Amino acid sequence: MDIFMLSISGGIGAIARYLLGQVIMGKYPDPPIPVTMLSVNILGALGLGLFYGAYFRSIPMYAYDDLWFLILGIGFFGAFTTFSTFSMEALELLRKKSYRKFVWYVAISLLGSIVMFSAGYSLGLWIW
Protein backbone atom coordinates (compact mmCIF):
# COMPACT_ATOMS: atom_id res chain seq x y z
CA MET A 1 0.00 0.00 0.00
CA ASP A 2 2.86 2.41 0.82
CA ILE A 3 4.43 1.90 -2.62
CA PHE A 4 1.07 2.55 -4.27
CA MET A 5 0.56 5.81 -2.32
CA LEU A 6 4.13 6.86 -3.07
CA SER A 7 3.60 6.19 -6.78
CA ILE A 8 0.36 8.16 -6.94
CA SER A 9 1.67 11.15 -4.97
CA GLY A 10 4.95 11.15 -6.89
CA GLY A 11 3.03 11.11 -10.15
CA ILE A 12 0.91 14.04 -9.02
CA GLY A 13 4.04 15.95 -7.97
CA ALA A 14 5.73 15.32 -11.33
CA ILE A 15 2.61 16.42 -13.22
CA ALA A 16 2.36 19.55 -11.07
CA ARG A 17 6.02 20.35 -11.81
CA TYR A 18 5.46 19.87 -15.53
CA LEU A 19 2.32 22.03 -15.62
CA LEU A 20 3.86 24.83 -13.55
CA GLY A 21 6.94 24.65 -15.77
CA GLN A 22 4.78 25.08 -18.86
CA VAL A 23 3.14 28.18 -17.38
CA ILE A 24 6.47 29.72 -16.38
CA MET A 25 8.10 28.95 -19.74
CA GLY A 26 5.11 30.55 -21.47
CA LYS A 27 5.59 33.75 -19.50
CA TYR A 28 9.41 33.76 -19.65
CA PRO A 29 10.47 32.02 -22.88
CA ASP A 30 14.09 33.21 -22.80
CA PRO A 31 15.11 33.98 -19.20
CA PRO A 32 18.68 34.93 -18.25
CA ILE A 33 18.80 32.04 -15.75
CA PRO A 34 16.69 28.84 -15.58
CA VAL A 35 13.67 30.34 -13.79
CA THR A 36 11.44 27.33 -14.25
CA MET A 37 13.36 24.95 -11.99
CA LEU A 38 14.35 27.83 -9.74
CA SER A 39 10.67 28.63 -9.18
CA VAL A 40 9.65 25.00 -8.78
CA ASN A 41 12.40 24.22 -6.28
CA ILE A 42 11.77 27.33 -4.18
CA LEU A 43 8.01 26.76 -4.18
CA GLY A 44 8.60 23.10 -3.28
CA ALA A 45 10.84 24.12 -0.39
CA LEU A 46 8.13 26.46 0.88
CA GLY A 47 5.50 23.72 0.63
CA LEU A 48 7.67 21.11 2.32
CA GLY A 49 8.49 23.54 5.13
CA LEU A 50 4.80 24.32 5.59
CA PHE A 51 4.04 20.60 5.77
CA TYR A 52 6.81 19.97 8.33
CA GLY A 53 5.76 22.89 10.51
CA ALA A 54 2.05 22.13 10.41
CA TYR A 55 2.18 18.34 10.61
CA PHE A 56 5.29 17.45 12.58
CA ARG A 57 5.82 20.74 14.45
CA SER A 58 9.51 19.82 14.29
CA ILE A 59 11.99 18.66 11.68
CA PRO A 60 12.33 14.90 12.10
CA MET A 61 15.29 13.46 10.25
CA TYR A 62 13.76 10.01 9.83
CA ALA A 63 10.01 9.97 9.35
CA TYR A 64 9.87 7.18 6.77
CA ASP A 65 7.33 5.21 8.79
CA ASP A 66 4.82 8.05 8.67
CA LEU A 67 2.30 7.69 5.82
CA TRP A 68 1.83 11.45 5.34
CA PHE A 69 5.58 11.97 5.14
CA LEU A 70 5.70 9.23 2.52
CA ILE A 71 2.85 10.78 0.53
CA LEU A 72 3.77 14.47 0.76
CA GLY A 73 7.42 14.64 1.79
CA ILE A 74 8.86 11.91 -0.40
CA GLY A 75 6.13 11.43 -3.00
CA PHE A 76 4.69 14.79 -3.95
CA PHE A 77 7.48 17.20 -3.01
CA GLY A 78 10.18 14.68 -3.93
CA ALA A 79 8.80 14.50 -7.47
CA PHE A 80 7.81 18.17 -7.64
CA THR A 81 11.29 19.48 -6.87
CA THR A 82 14.39 18.36 -8.71
CA PHE A 83 17.98 18.67 -7.63
CA SER A 84 19.18 16.77 -10.67
CA THR A 85 17.74 19.28 -13.16
CA PHE A 86 19.11 22.14 -11.04
CA SER A 87 22.55 20.51 -11.21
CA MET A 88 22.34 19.99 -14.97
CA GLU A 89 21.25 23.59 -15.58
CA ALA A 90 24.00 24.95 -13.34
CA LEU A 91 26.58 22.86 -15.17
CA GLU A 92 25.23 24.07 -18.51
CA LEU A 93 25.74 27.69 -17.42
CA LEU A 94 29.34 26.82 -16.56
CA ARG A 95 29.82 25.05 -19.88
CA LYS A 96 28.64 28.20 -21.66
CA LYS A 97 31.08 30.22 -19.51
CA SER A 98 28.18 32.20 -18.06
CA TYR A 99 29.93 32.50 -14.72
CA ARG A 100 27.84 35.34 -13.30
CA LYS A 101 24.61 33.62 -14.25
CA PHE A 102 25.93 30.41 -12.72
CA VAL A 103 26.72 32.11 -9.41
CA TRP A 104 23.35 33.88 -9.31
CA TYR A 105 21.44 30.73 -10.22
CA VAL A 106 23.20 28.57 -7.62
CA ALA A 107 23.02 31.23 -4.89
CA ILE A 108 19.36 32.03 -5.46
CA SER A 109 18.43 28.36 -5.74
CA LEU A 110 20.22 27.22 -2.60
CA LEU A 111 19.67 30.22 -0.36
CA GLY A 112 16.16 30.78 -1.69
CA SER A 113 15.19 27.17 -0.99
CA ILE A 114 16.56 27.32 2.55
CA VAL A 115 14.88 30.65 3.27
CA MET A 116 11.56 29.49 1.80
CA PHE A 117 11.66 26.17 3.68
CA SER A 118 12.26 28.14 6.86
CA ALA A 119 9.43 30.56 6.04
CA GLY A 120 7.06 27.69 5.27
CA TYR A 121 8.06 25.88 8.44
CA SER A 122 7.48 28.99 10.55
CA LEU A 123 4.16 29.62 8.85
CA GLY A 124 3.13 26.00 9.47
CA LEU A 125 3.95 26.35 13.16
CA TRP A 126 2.04 29.61 13.37
CA ILE A 127 -1.08 28.47 11.49
CA TRP A 128 -1.54 25.13 13.21
Q: Is 120 annotated as a binding-site member? A: no
Residue 102 · residue 94 · CB < 8 Å? yes
- Euclidean distance between CA atoms 100 and 104, whole angstroms: 6
Beta carbons within 10 angstroms of residue 108's beta carbon: 16
Angle in degrees, CA 77, 4, 39, rounded to 5? 15
81 is in an annotated binding site: yes
Three-state DSSP string of 11-43: HHHHHHHHHHHHHHHHHCCCCCCCHHHHHHHHH
Q: Per the annotation, where are the binding residues?
A: 78, 81
Q: Per the annotation, where are the binding residues for Na(+)?
A: 78, 81
